């Protein structure tokens, strides 16, 4: 592209004609959508839909993840001028991706939030496009799992996190980011034999059949061995992938509500996600990015990079690849 053409690009979030292709807007200017994709609710012919979920009323410590979707979108403006690094296909050029904006909900009626998210997610999934959600706290994953399980049946789960999020919670009315997986298991949304948690480094409950890989195990065993374990557990069926940004060590992601030392380095997370190509990821989210505690926007940048890797995983079969 000629320099003068690149210099004339602005506000691709609204003005781009084609859902495919790189974007050369200056990263410091223009309207920010995820990767400068077009904002649209029209999912005709779309390969991946991105949804922001600015909800953080279920946290146990520091709030602020409601600003996560906006921060991730802004940080993603650094990336759409080049194909995603390390992948054998350019998802930005090969695939039609839209940013469907943020979920609309009444912040003062918290009890109605899960149903609103589940309904919106189901609408997107019904189009046939995989859904990538930008959170928001980790409670958003429960309604997302409900929507995906309604379409695919019990899911495999790849869960990156410092915490197991399996604290007992038998109240239908409670919304808690530390109990979403307990409720998902109780509801039969996830097959325990196909669920694996990566990066765990806090004391907490487990669930029979669920595989836990502590952060120290990742450090000591290495990427290849960890990926082999994840693949063996996840199997060939539909998998949902949820990435809590606190899976990363606070040195790489300080802007989160419940930071815990000893976590994954950013290079480890990148390598693990890329080596999962071919796992049947039908939906994904990245959660718990809290910009008020984010020094230099490093957590938002990490969240944006994670989101790109998740998008590539979701789009792998649509780009012509079948299996690992």
Which CATH number belongs to the domain containing residue 111 in this structure?
Answer: 3.40.800.10
Helix 266-274 / helix 298-315 crossing angle, nearest 10 deg: 10
Q: Tell me, yes or no, whether 259 lies in a domain.
A: yes
Residue 34 and residue 82 in contact, taking contact as beta carbons nearer than 8 Å: no
Range of the domain at 64: 38-319
Contacts of 171 (CB under 8 A, 6+ apart): none
pTM of the model: 0.96
Distance CA 214, CA 193 (A): 18
Task: Answer whether residue 271 is part of any domain.
Answer: yes
Residue 71 lies in a domain: yes
Residue 139 lies in a domain: yes
β-strand 155-160 against 190-200: which pairing, if any? parallel
Tell me whether residue 32 is in a domain. Answer: no
Low-confidence ranges of the chain (pLDDT < 70): 1-6, 322-324
- Supply the pLDDT for residue 2: 47
For residues 1 and 85, what is the distance between their CA atoms, to the nearest angstrom? 20
- Please check whether residue 171 lies inside any domain of the structure: yes
Residue 25 domain flag: no
Contact predicate 55/105, CB 8 Å: yes
The total of structural domains in the chain comes to: 1
With respect to residue 125, please indicate whether it lies within any of the assigned structural domains.
yes
């Amino acid at each position: 592209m000629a320099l003068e053409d690149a210099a004339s690009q602005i506000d691709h979030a609204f003005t781009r004609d084609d859902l495919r292709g790189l974007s050369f807007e200056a990263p410091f200017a223009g309207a920010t959508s995820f990767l400068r994709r077009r904002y649209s609710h029209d999912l005709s012919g779309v390969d991946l839909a991105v949804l922001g979920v600015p909800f953080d009323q279920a946290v146990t410590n520091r709030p602020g993840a409601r600003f996560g979707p906006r921060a991730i979108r802004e940080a993603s403006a650094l990336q759409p001028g080049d194909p995603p690094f390390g992948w054998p296909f350019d998802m930005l050029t090969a695939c039609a991706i839209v940013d469907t904006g943020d979920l609309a909900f009444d912040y003062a009626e918290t009890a109605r939030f899960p149903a609103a998210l589940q309904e919106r997610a189901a609408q997107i999934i019904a189009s046939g496009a995989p859904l990538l959600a930008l959170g928001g706290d980790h409670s958003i994953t429960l309604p997302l799992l409900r929507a995906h399980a309604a379409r695919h049946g019990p899911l495999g789960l790849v869960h990156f996190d410092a915490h197991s999020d399996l604290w007992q919670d038998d109240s239908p009315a409670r919304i808690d980011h530390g109990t979403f997986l307990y409720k998902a298991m109780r509801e039969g949304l996830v097959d325990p034999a196909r669920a694996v948690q990566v990066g765990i480094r806090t004391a907490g409950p487990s669930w029979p059949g669920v595989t836990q890989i502590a952060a120290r195990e990742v450090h000591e065993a290495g990427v290849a061995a960890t990926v082999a374990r994840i693949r063996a557990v996840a199997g060939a069926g539909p998998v949902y992938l949820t990435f809590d940004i606190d899976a990363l060590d606070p040195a790489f992601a300080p802007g989160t509500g419940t930071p815990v030392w000893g976590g994954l380095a950013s290079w480890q997370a990148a390598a693990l996600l890329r080596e999962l190509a071919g796992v049947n990821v039908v939906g994904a989210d990245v959660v718990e990015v809290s910009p008020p505690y984010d020094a230099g926007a490093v957590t938002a940048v990490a969240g944006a990079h994670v989101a790109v890797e998740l998008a590539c995983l979701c789009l792998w079969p649509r780009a012509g690849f079948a299996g690992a």
